[in-house]
Chains A and B, each alone.
Chain A
Amino acid sequence: MQENIVLDRDLATQAVNLALDMGAEYAEARMESFVSNGLFLKNGNPEIAGFGTFSGMCLRVLMHGGMGFASTDILKKNSIQERVETAVRMAKASSGLVKDKIILSDEPTHVADYTVEQKKKLSDVGLDEIVSALTHIDKSMTESAPLISRFISLNMEERTKFFTNSDDSKIGSVIPRIAIFTIPTIREGEKTSQAAIHRGVSMGWEYMDPDKRAQEICHEIAMTHKNMKEGVKAPAGKIDMVLGPEVVGIAAHESCGHPYEADRISGREAAQAGESFVKASMMGSRIGSSAATVVDDPTLPNSYGFYLYDDEGVKARPKVLIKDGLINEFLHNRETSAAMDMGQSNGGARADNYDREAIVRMSNTFVAPGDRSDEELFEGIKLGVYMKSFMEWNIDDKRYNQRYIGREAYLIENGEVKAPVKAPILELTTPAFWTAIDAVGKDLEFSAATCGKGEPAQGVPVYTGGPHIRLKGITLGVGN
């Protein structure tokens, strides 16, 4: 059995102390080491396998209101000393151009260690097992529908972290993550369609039940093929819609999570991922119907976006972003919570690696379940569309105009699900989306995704999710 990685925590503590000695008003160090394994199959061929143990540390300091950040992958005293000096020098050099002095919220000191238990450790899995599992899934895919081409990847890591800061917090964690991603190109006659399918969790190899994972993926492919084969044109005019958890999840992420990131609201991300149509002054105002409640919760056990302390050492907790249709809470780190006079951060700071700064991120963002059964959601819809999953999606950089195109979708006639519908387009504004919700199912499902943000871009693992929901009075969009 592979032994757990032991980080030299003293080195991190020494870096923090050195920064303070050099005049920093605040300092933190985050040391990480992760064992990584991956395999990529292209059209059934094992294209390449990768593995390794990667380690490094970053240091973040505040000085004269400026923030300096430096990282290294050489965990030795002299290298770290040079990095500390550089972070302090840059923080100092920047202070003349810092018009709004950067301050961090006061937070309680935490001393904690936590580990996600694994029945079979990812670092103990042999490459032969990985090849066998992924090849099984890949082969099953070819039997689910006619495929022109395909690729599939399996990536897993076991990440050990240690965070410490000049407030005396000391937090260690070990989180394993495993993910499968595939895009098969499905053929029906002369037409093709693609399905981007992502699965991911924070747990050990026990997640990789090849039959079960193959079944899930093959179902998506078969349904996409059925839609290509039997799909009819989407209806015109105002209709009602039922959205499946996958679509509800992407909307919760794109149309609620992102615009509620306080660093977007404050303009810190303006030159990259953009800003937000939501302003701090809108707190408490109505954004949707009373049926809409959206939560971001990093503490869900084994979720893809799981953590118990964020990358600034703040204890994680669920955040209710929209409560009964009202803007209720934004996502914060220590910098934004101080700037917006929030008192304390709500633990939304994440970095995707030791060489990246922790910025405001989502974790597991979902529409909270309601009390309606499936039957209750569909009954009463005379003419509508059930959009179960999506393919193309995007949203503008203030998070106001979004578009989701259905992959698996069906006509609803007189309360019953009928023929598949080809590529229905939901293209509408964010308030229109949340206001159109008139009923929420009592189910709850999650999808794995990688959320991109920051510069350099950081991809963090997240869940998106929700129950089935019903939208009233929707005019579908136009394709190309």
Chain B
Amino acid sequence: MKKAVSMGADDVICTRVTDRTKQIRFANNSVTASKSWASNNIGIYLTKDKRILSTDVTEPAELDRTLEELMKRIRMMEPNDEYRGIAFGTPKYRKDVADPAMDSMVEELYDHVDAAISAATEAGASRVAGVLYSGTAEVNQATSGGSVGTYSTSALEISVRAMSDLDSSGHMVQSVASSWKFKPADVGRTAGELAIESRKPEMGEAGKFDVLFSPMIFANILDHVGSACSAGAVESGMSYFADMLEKNVASELVSCCDDGINPESIVSPPFDGEGVPTRRTQLIEKGVLKNYLHNTSTAKRHGTESTGNAGLVFPEPWTVYLEPGQKTRDQLISGIDRGYYMTNTWYTRFQNYRTGDFSTIPRDAIFRIEKGKLAGPVKDIRISESMLNILGNVTAVGNDPMLVHWWEVETPISCPHVLVKDVNITRSTQ
């Protein structure tokens, strides 16, 4: 960083990430692959007269040559007139809470996989698939703004999908930052039970229905809400929250925040990509949009301060938390006259990010609800909706939050069951 400044750079951020991750994949009750990644990467972000370049280096001996190349190339770049610089200051950071035990685990990981598969099959599932991750990383960062920091992270995660036949399955996940909290058998059992409960589904019906979303599926929706709160998404036309600050964007039952400091999450770094301490930022309060997520440059453009969410280009959420309500899952079901209970989804695609029009395909266990009770499994339906409709039609929030992070939920999301009225359901016409 110092060398880059001495060569004439204005703003410089150097971030070294050393990552060790293991993965065990399984399918059909059998391990299909065991993987280990080791990476060492130094990311360099550099500006000169509002011209911005970035690169990565794996070999420290290459740093000098790379900096010379950066300074040569930056003269060929055009200035970004919207750029407002990086953070300045020398903040003190909170301590990280990484679990170093995760780095050395190998044989124990297979015990976890075995426990998950066994619990799912004992619950009645015929086939079990999934993935287990164990990872640690160390991050060192120095910026020309004056910040210097180091932290370590750790995560142990499992995703289990249990099947009783092609159309009947259950899915459950768990992500923890401390290994002693890991309960793979519970995850497998829940997935297995859902697979059995959803056997022999009938075709679902199209129309408007009250839908009770499990944490797995509502996390997918909140994942997109978190991304849409990034000031970068707002500025580039990729957010339905553009021009909506201090306006109603959701039912008054919806309050959610981005939380960069909760040690229960697997993503809670002490500082962001430009050295700003992370924090808790209210996104929606009682249905009103309160904040976008910012780095220093977007914050200055919007006349506010950084929320500590700097990524390389756009601000990014760390972990989105939906404030829980009072009701249990069963109480929520008992209040539905005619509707659906959905436990997972995939392939959420937007027709228009600016308006929030999208569709997504519920998968795994889906149940009809009739007169306050689960009334049998269904299949082959699609949610065809707008994000603002979904948020605006929330009629109850459950009291059972869980942290969801898996293949279809990129940002860790903590949310409970959520009841939404008048959800538009479609299905194939032929």
Residue positions of A touching B, CB distance < 8 A: 40, 42-43, 45-52, 54-56, 66-74, 79, 82-83, 86-87, 89-91, 93-94, 96-100, 102, 126-128, 131, 135, 148-151, 183-185, 192-194, 266-272, 274-275, 277, 355, 357, 391-398, 400-403, 405, 423, 427-429, 432, 455-457, 474-480
Given the known A-B contacts A47-B52, A54-B58, A275-B166, are A96 and B110 also in contact in the complex, defined by CB atoms under 8 Å?
Answer: yes
B326 contacts the other chain (Cβ, under 8 Å)? Answer: no
Contact status A70-B428, CB under 8 Å: no
Cα A52 to Cα B54 in complex, Å, equals 9
Query: How near does chain B come to A99, taking the closest CB pair, in angstroms?
Result: 4
Contact status B27-A397, CB under 8 Å: no
A99-B28, A392-B349 are known; give 14 further A-B pairs, CB within 8 A.
A42-B236, A50-B53, A74-B38, A135-B78, A271-B131, A272-B407, A274-B363, A391-B351, A428-B429, A428-B430, A475-B430, A477-B428, A480-B359, A480-B389
**B232 CB contacts on chain A under 8 angstroms:** 42
Cα A334 to Cα B160 in complex, Å, equals 26
A76 closest partner in B (C-beta): B59
Identify which of A89, A391, A479 contacts B106 (C-beta below 8 A): A89
Contact status B27-A267, CB under 8 Å: yes
- Interface residue tally for chain B (C-beta within 8 Å): 92
Contact status B361-A183, CB under 8 Å: no
Pick from B18-26, B139-147, B276-284, B369-377 the stretch touching chain A.
B18-26
Of B159, B424, B429, most buried by chain A (CB within 10 Å of CB) is B429
Cα A102 to Cα B427 in complex, Å, equals 39
B127 contacts the other chain (Cβ, under 8 Å)? Answer: yes
Query: How near does chain B come to A193, taking the closest CB pair, in angstroms?
Result: 6
Cα A178 to Cα B34 in complex, Å, equals 33
Given the known A-B contacts A52-B56, A270-B161, A394-B360, are A93 and B34 also in contact in the complex, defined by CB atoms under 8 Å?
Answer: yes
Cα A266 to Cα B40 in complex, Å, equals 35
Cα A453 to Cα B303 in complex, Å, equals 41
Contacts A/B (CB < 8 Å), 30 sampled: A42-B235, A46-B80, A47-B80, A49-B52, A54-B58, A69-B35, A71-B39, A74-B38, A90-B22, A90-B34, A94-B31, A98-B31, A102-B32, A127-B77, A131-B77, A150-B237, A268-B27, A268-B28, A270-B28, A272-B407, A277-B166, A355-B39, A392-B350, A392-B357, A394-B359, A395-B347, A396-B347, A427-B429, A480-B389, A480-B424
Cα A148 to Cα B352 in complex, Å, equals 13
**B13 CB contacts on chain A under 8 angstroms:** none
B380 contacts the other chain (Cβ, under 8 Å)? Answer: yes
Contact status B428-A432, CB under 8 Å: yes
Cα A109 to Cα B376 in complex, Å, equals 54
**B35 CB contacts on chain A under 8 angstroms:** 68-71, 90, 357
Contact status A148-B354, CB under 8 Å: yes
Identify which of A128, A392, A398, A474 contacts B359 (C-beta below 8 A): A392
B224 contacts the other chain (Cβ, under 8 Å)? Answer: no
**A271 CB contacts on chain B under 8 angstroms:** 27, 129-131, 159-161, 171, 407
Given the known A-B contacts A397-B363, A478-B384, are A71 and B159 also in contact in the complex, defined by CB atoms under 8 Å?
Answer: no
Query: How near does chain B come to A81, taking the closest CB pair, in angstroms?
Result: 12
Given the known A-B contacts A52-B57, A183-B237, A392-B358, are A97 and B76 also in contact in the complex, defined by CB atoms under 8 Å?
Answer: no
**B22 CB contacts on chain A under 8 angstroms:** 90
Identify which of A43, A56, A86, A395 contacts B36 (C-beta below 8 A): A86
Given the known A-B contacts A270-B163, A480-B357, are A46 and B79 also in contact in the complex, defined by CB atoms under 8 Å?
Answer: yes
Cα A149 to Cα B53 in complex, Å, equals 23
B29 contacts the other chain (Cβ, under 8 Å)? Answer: yes
Query: How near does chain A come to B211, taking the closest CB pair, in angstroms?
Result: 14
Residue positions of B touching A, CB distance < 8 A: 22-41, 51-59, 69, 73, 76-82, 106-107, 110, 113-114, 117, 127, 129-131, 159-161, 163, 166-167, 171, 206, 232, 235-238, 312-313, 346-355, 357-361, 363, 380, 382, 384-386, 389, 407, 424, 426-430
A101 closest partner in B (C-beta): B30
Contact status B34-A67, CB under 8 Å: yes
Query: How near does chain A come to B327, taking the closest CB pair, in angstroms?
Result: 27
**B313 CB contacts on chain A under 8 angstroms:** 40, 47-48
Contact status A90-B36, CB under 8 Å: yes
Given the known A-B contacts A100-B30, A192-B355, are A45 and B80 also in contact in the complex, defined by CB atoms under 8 Å?
Answer: yes
Query: How near does chain B come to A286, taking the closest CB pair, in angstroms?
Result: 17
**A395 CB contacts on chain B under 8 angstroms:** 347, 361
Of B82, B159, B385, most buried by chain A (CB within 10 Å of CB) is B82
B312 closest partner in A (C-beta): A48
Contact status A455-B131, CB under 8 Å: yes
Contact status B37-A131, CB under 8 Å: no
Identify which of B34, B129, B380 contacts A401 (C-beta below 8 A): B380
B113 closest partner in A (C-beta): A97
Of B58, B106, B426, B430, most buried by chain A (CB within 10 Å of CB) is B430
Cα A405 to Cα B349 in complex, Å, equals 11
**B359 CB contacts on chain A under 8 angstroms:** 392, 394, 403, 480
Contact status B346-A274, CB under 8 Å: yes
Given the known A-B contacts A72-B38, A73-B39, A93-B110, are A67 and B30 also in contact in the complex, defined by CB atoms under 8 Å?
Answer: no
Contact status B77-A46, CB under 8 Å: yes
Contact status B237-A194, CB under 8 Å: yes
**A184 CB contacts on chain B under 8 angstroms:** 237
Contact status B110-A67, CB under 8 Å: no
Contact status A397-B384, CB under 8 Å: no
Query: How near does chain A come to B60, taking the closest CB pair, in angstroms?
Result: 11
Contact status B30-A45, CB under 8 Å: no
Contact status A66-B25, CB under 8 Å: no
Cα A291 to Cα B206 in complex, Å, equals 32
**B360 CB contacts on chain A under 8 angstroms:** 394
4 tightest Cβ-Cβ pairs between the two chains A and B: A149-B237, A185-B237, A392-B351, A90-B34
**B312 CB contacts on chain A under 8 angstroms:** 48
Query: How near does chain A come to B217, taking the closest CB pair, in angstroms?
Result: 14
Contact status A48-B235, CB under 8 Å: no
Identify which of A128, A149, A274 contacts B235 (C-beta below 8 A): A149
